[in-house]
Amino acid sequence: MESAWFEPAEQRSARRHAATVLHSRASLALACEHAAHRAAAALLALRKPEGYWCGDLRADTTLESDYILLQLWLHPPVDGLWQPPTLPRLLKAQRSILDRQLPDGGFNIYPKGPSEISATVKAYVALKLTGLSPDSEPLERARRVILSLGGLQAANSYVKINLSLFGLYPRKHVPTVPPELVLLPGNVLYEMSSWTRAIVVPLSIVQARGGIRPVPAGFNIDEILAPDAAFRLPRRGRAAVLFHHLDKVFKLWENRGSEDIRRAAIRDAEKWMLDRTRYSEGLGAIYPSMMYLIMALDSLGYPSDHPDLNEALRQFENLLTETPTDFYFQPCFSPVWDTAIAMFALGEMGAVLPELEPALTRAADWLIAREVRHRGDWSVKRPDVEPSGWAFEFANEHYPDIDDTAMVLLALEHARASNPSAQANCERRALNWLLEMQSADGGWAAFDVDNNWAILNKVPFADHNAMLDPTCADITGRVLEALCRRGLDPAHSAVRRGVAYLLQTQERNGSWYGRWGVNFIYGTFLALRGLRAAAPAEAADSIRRAARWVASVQNPDGGWGESCAGYNRNRFVPAPSTPSQTAWALLALLAANSSYHDALARGIHFLSSTQKPDGTWDEDLATGTGFPRVFYLTYTLYRNYFPLLALTSARRALEIRPS
């Protein structure tokens, strides 16, 4: 009989390997727990006094450049001399722009990105207006970049439209946006994305009634016109020919059309705008539409003391951060979004911090008070649905956001509001609204249903790359997770259609395109969480392929990073690791229940080793997407609440439970 202590070599090796793996899992779980506790404490400290979260939302120099042009509109030169009352602010804006000039002289649209023509043209004009000589070193360098990229003629339509309002670009060579759009039958206006709607309606009034505003004596920008480039409207495919002919008709109508019809269109457009400033922080609650609203009201002759014009100016200037050292505009505010994700990340920890429950209750009360209860643009296609949902901003009742609504439902799962009955009714309405906002293809978009008239992408002013609001994998994944965690059966038709949509939109390499975050890592993380929540058997192979792809793009330092350049190249483009994208990749692997233990371990090590002593992380790159290839966002809280969620989720997955 063998001694009790005897153990064959094979068994001993297997036992030691198992012990090493268990120890590794235990160590990783402990590392996650320690880092998560520090992150949670830091996140709780970032709450506003009212109990919500709202980080700065940063963008590129185009916002400060547009601000300078808006001041020229509002305060025109007198006798050729431009000395606006806002001159001290303009000089701060000038410095803010110059501080972000690239070594080659241009300006980019995302951190570490290359010079971009439209941003550089806007910056050049703004800097020259605020007193820099074209012979100055900054403008000489910027001019060289502009000419190397095709000159002013290569800028996008909105740059040219804005310049044409001051006679700085030929009016006949920019797209016409007629106010008669609001009179077209069949609700054609509502086939455009919500943000495009909110931009083109006031812009149509500006073009129709604003005239050509003066510039300082002798001011022009002829030096940035490429000598060999033609003036022409943008062309995108054969369908563009039709819209080019229509543009000619619109221009003819401007000069010879019925003034009675035009007046009626402008009245309707004016009413449309003003109606959508009620219960809102300005038209659309986003920078471009708020800027054009100011210009439109001024074009219509609103006096400087008119309450609507003053309110429009006040809301717009609220977007400005001005300190002795900083001057920048935010494109909008993100309190509902930041609050919901922060709550969800904290709530997923469980009751581990004594201050957590009261903090979540206060945040839940804040969110419930901001439920949308008025019918917005979405109701044109869903007229019989009870209003609900949440906007992205503090107040934007006409535009509740499907993505935000799903995120709020996930957050409220972990919080008990002061009024349980009000919370239950609110959640019931929001859940029903989400179900009703599913598009015919099974997916969910941001603000509307079935907003997919692809031909509208061919109109001459569609080169902002956001004419439509189509369904996308990232929002669909989040909505599926919210619906299933709220108790919807996986066999429910909405869930089955959402799953089918995700399986159909998966890329060949196993990833998913991310519309609202950069890019394939973001889309893949949310698609996988949606599929995990729905747990469809037919998704098993898709989930395995997605996990394999995520592991394959991990950086050598253990983190993950992806460049905004991927939108231009239609493929994943690696970048230095960021905390937010590393968190998304870890959440994707965890959602896939993958066997990529080494990838998970290295990702956890990256987050724990780069966490600062105060529990936060640094992040230099933009990981949010406004309009792909055109406008990107840096959410300054992404770097903190997404790693917390990833670490908490990893700790739970790695926990060793008694057998």
Q: The CATH number of the domain where 113 resides is what?
A: 1.50.10.20
Does residue 11 belong to any structural domain of this protein?
Answer: no
Phi, psi for residue 273 in degrees, rounded to 5: -60, -55
pLDDT tens digits, one per residue of 235-293:
555 555 655 656 666 666 677 778 899 999 999 999 999 999 999 999 999 999 999 99
pLDDT for residue 456? 81
Structure tokens at 429: 């309405």
The residue from 301, 329, 357 where one domain ends is 329
pLDDT at 81: 95
- Residue 254's contacts (CB-CB under 8 Å, 6 or more residues apart) are 176, 178, 208
For residue 522, the Cα-to-chain-centroid distance in whole angstroms is: 12
Measuring CA to CA, which residue among 526, 528, 550 is closest to residue 599? 550
* Pair (295, 378) in one structural domain: no
CB within 8 A of 104, min separation 6: which ones? 115, 141, 145
Q: Is 21 helix (H, G, I), strand (E, B) or coil?
A: helix
What is d(CA 106, CA 118) in angstroms, rounded to the nearest whole number?
Answer: 10
- pLDDT (tens digit per residue) in 192-230: 999 999 999 999 999 999 999 999 999 999 999 999 766
Final residue before a domain boundary, out of 329, 354, 381: 329
Q: Rounded distance, CA 111 to CA 226, Å?
A: 27
Residue 455 is predicted with a pLDDT of 82
352 vs 480 pLDDT, higher one: 480
pLDDT, one tens digit per residue, over 542-571 is: 999 999 999 999 999 999 999 999 999 999
pLDDT band with cut points at 50, 70 and 90 for residue 4 = very low
147 shares a domain with 276 = yes
Residue at 457 is within a domain: no
On the question of pLDDT at 21 being above 60, the answer is no
Cβ-Cβ contacts under 8 Å for 227 (sequence gap 6 or more): 151
pLDDT confidence of residue 236: 53
pLDDT category of residue 459 using cuts at 50, 70 and 90: confident
Per-residue model confidence (pLDDT) at position 655: 82
Residue 392: alpha-carbon gap to chain centroid: 10
- Give the DSSP per-residue string, 120-137: HHHHHHHHHHTT--TTSH
Residue at 511: amino acid letter: S
Position 12 in a domain: no
Average pLDDT, rounded, for the chain: 92
Residue 256, exposed/middle/buried by CB under 10 A (0-12, 13-18, 19+)? exposed
- How many Cβ atoms are within 10 Å of 435's Cβ, its own excluded? 17
Angle at 566 between CA 560 and CA 570, to 5 degrees: 130
Tokens coding 171 = 């009016």
Half-sphere exposure for 152 (CA within 13 Å, toward CB): 23
* pLDDT score of 255: 73
Mean pLDDT computed over 489-504: 97
- Does pLDDT of 657 surpass 50? no
User: What is the tally of helices (H) and strands (E) in the chain?
Assistant: 23, 5
Q: What is the mean pLDDT of residues 96-112?
A: 98
In this structure, the answer to whether residues 153 and 281 fall within a common structural domain is: yes
Structure tokens at 659: 């057998």
Position 3 confidence tier, pLDDT thresholds 50, 70, 90: very low
- The neighbour count for residue 318, using CB atoms within 10 Å, is 15
Q: What is the pLDDT of residues 76-102, one digit of tens each?
A: 999 999 999 999 999 999 999 999 999
Q: What is the DSSP letter of 450?
A: S
Q: Has residue 569 been placed in a domain? A: yes
Q: Does residue 41 fall inside a structural domain?
A: yes
Quick one: DSSP state of residue 257? S
Q: Which active-site residues does the annotation give? A: 403
Do 127 and 140 contact (CB within 8 A), yes or no? no
pTM of the model: 0.93
Q: Which of 567, 572, 584, 575 is nearest to 627 (CA)?
A: 567
For residue 513 the two structure tokens come to: 């395109």
Q: Phi and psi at residue 390, in whole multiples of 5°?
A: -135, 145
Please state the domain count of the chain.
2
pLDDT at 448 over 80: yes
The single-letter DSSP state of residue 236 is: -
313 lies in the same domain as 367: no
Do 403 and 370 reside in the same domain of the chain? yes
> In the block, which residue shows the tokens 């963008």?
59
Q: Report the DSSP pairing between strands 320-322 and 327-329.
A: antiparallel
The closest of 517, 510, 553 to 628, measured between CA atoms, is 517
Same domain, 530 and 563: yes
> By the 8 A CB rule, do 6 and 321 touch?
no
- Give every CB contact of residue 501 below 8 A, 6+ residues apart in sequence: 441, 442, 443, 471, 473, 476
Rounded distance between C-alpha atoms, residue 81 and residue 129, angstroms: 11
What is the arithmetic mean of pLDDT over 398-411? 98
Closest CA to 202 of 302, 118, 120, 121: 302
Q: Kindly state whether residues 229 and 351 are assigned to the same domain.
A: no
- Asked whether the predicted pLDDT for residue 474 surpasses 90, the reply is yes
Q: Are residues 72 and 174 in the same domain?
A: yes
pLDDT at 307 over 80: yes
Distance, CA of 311 to CA of 315 (rounded, Å): 6
* 464 within domain boundaries: no
Same domain for 343 and 483? yes
Q: Give me the domain span that covers residue 182.
A: 60-329
Q: How far apart are CA 191 and CA 468, in angstroms?
A: 8
Q: What is the 3-state secondary structure (H, E, C) of 351-383?
A: CCCCCHHHHHHHHHHHHHCCCCCCCCHHHHCCC
Answer yes or no: do 520 and 387 share one domain.
Answer: yes
Q: Is 433 left (phi over 0), alpha (psi -120 to 50) or beta?
A: alpha
Asked whether residue 13 is assigned to any structural domain, the reply reads no
Which residues in 425-464 belong to E strands, given as ranges? Answer: none
Residue 152, domain member (yes or no): yes
Candidates 553, 558, 554, 530; CA nearest to 542 is: 530
The pLDDT > 70 percentage for the chain reads 91
The domain boundary, picked from 284, 311, 329, lies at 329
Taking the CA atoms of 619, 622, 162 and 468 in sequence, report the sign of the dihedral they define: negative
Q: Hey, what are 495's tokens? A: 């869930």
Based on C-alpha coordinates, what's the Rg of the chain? 27
Whether residue 52 sits in one domain with residue 65: no
In the chain, pLDDT over 90 holds for what percent of residues? 85
Q: What mean pLDDT is predicted for residues 432-449?
A: 98
Between helix 638-654 and helix 335-347 the angle, nearest 10°, is 20
Strands (E), 290-401: 320-322, 327-329
What's the CA gap between 530 and 432, in Å, rounded?
A: 18
In the sheet that holds 631-635, the strands lie side by side as: 57-58, 631-635, 624-627
Kind and range of the H or E run holding 58: strand 57-58
206 and 295 both lie in a single domain: yes
Distance CA 288, CA 286 (A): 6
Q: Which residue has the tokens 């002919």?
A: 245
Beta strands in 265-416 (DSSP E): 320-322, 327-329
Q: Classify burial at 600, counting beta carbons within 10 Å of its beta carbon; exposed 0-12, middle 13-18, buried 19 or more.
A: buried
Residue 5 has what pLDDT?
Answer: 34
- What six digits make up the tokens of 247? 């543009």
The structure tokens listed for 529 are 């969480």
